[in-house]
Amino acid sequence: MLQPKEFCWPAEWERHSATWLSWPHQKADWPGKFGVIPWVWAEIVRLVSWEEQVELFLPEGSEKSVRGMLERAGADLKRVSLHPQPSNRVWMRDAGGIFVKDSKGKKTLLDWRFNAWAKYDDWQLDDALPMAMAQVRGLPKSRVVQPHFAKKRVVLEGGAIDGNGAGVMLTTRECLLSKVQERNPGLDQANYETLFKEYLGISKVIWLEQGIEGDDTHGHVDDLARFVGPETVVLVVEKDKSRPNYGPLLNNLEILKREIMPSGCRLEIIPLPMPKPVVFRGQVLPASYANFILTNDSVLVPTFNDEADRQALGILADCFPGRKAIGVHAVDLVWGLGTLHCLSQQEPA
């Protein structure tokens, strides 16, 4: 096990060497809708593989069928590597390792513990994914532990944090400090900030309060607010005062308005609309345009058959002028309680 040192967590818009994904297989995560989900994945692999390498975990024995689906979907198979690897679910953002660099630019995988958002019992296979990633790449792996708590591994999902690549991070109190889905009993705000400094090179943590309605993870920031530049954040806002999201999102906006960056400047805040509620079987789903992902030449944005789709695509296209803004239909995908950012993990070049 490596000891923490001066790691740096690159921003997502920096050049990638690959995007990591895991092929869907657990039908219970999309009850009544699973049939279409592998084709949604195939489309995502197609879009990413046109621009960068895809490292894809998949169940044992499924390589031939998955390769056939990807070929029919038009993926660039020369840029797709298939790795048989058992898993419980497919949310690589949360279960996969986080890539950081040391002072010499060498990559390391951070192995945070994954326990299925402190909510489900089946997570043990997913908790092994960082080790599998490190073995594929031949990279060192650093297990993140809290020395003041019997050196227990620290639970953290990648969707709970968002960074600007320059030492500033966004997260939420609802996710990390709440007692409802408590990840790390005994860790307080100061403990987290120490860990983020040691392992991610974070000098400033911006603590937002509450995530969006329907979020199964209890407040992940990647459905809420994302850095799109070193001092620029997109933040989802709700215009309808009758919606449950209205007050919490307004509160988060006020928090961001008060923040001062290390440069002495205030954050530039770009409002991102919320789609109208996406409801299936009476359940409000966590539909958010903030769950976009970046490839080397594109920004892929979840869309929801909503009039705000076009507005969100335009806003994010302006945020990343060197990239194409491409919508990915996510109405079926979000029934699994996550979309594009949740299912992917970028590897910096």
| Structural domain total, the chain | 1
Within 8 A by CB and 6+ apart from 324, the residues are 297, 298, 299, 317
Sign of CA dihedral 301, 307, 312, 315: positive
Domain housing 249: 16-348
Mean pLDDT of 102-125: 95
pTM over 0.75? The answer is: yes
Task: Inform me whether the pLDDT recorded for 4 exceeds 60.
Answer: no
Is residue 85 assigned to a domain? Answer: yes
Helices 63-73 and 37-49 meet at what angle, rounded to 10? 70
Is residue 269 assigned to a domain? Answer: yes
SS3 342: coil
Is residue 7 assigned to a domain? Answer: no
Task: Inform me whether the pLDDT recorded for 149 exceeds 80.
Answer: no
As a whole number of angstroms, the distance between CA 96 and CA 20 comes to: 8
Is residue 5 assigned to a domain? Answer: no
Q: How confident is the model at residue 124 (pLDDT cuts 50, 70, 90)?
A: very high
Mean pLDDT of the chain: 95
Is residue 6 assigned to a domain? Answer: no
- The answer to whether the beta carbons of residues 11 and 161 sit under 8 Å apart is no
Q: Which residues are catalytic?
A: 342
Matching residue, tokens 């009758």: 242
Is residue 8 assigned to a domain? Answer: no
**Tell me, what CATH number does 277's domain have?**
3.75.10.10
Is residue 11 assigned to a domain? Answer: no
Is residue 9 assigned to a domain? Answer: no
Specify the pLDDT at position 148. Answer: 61
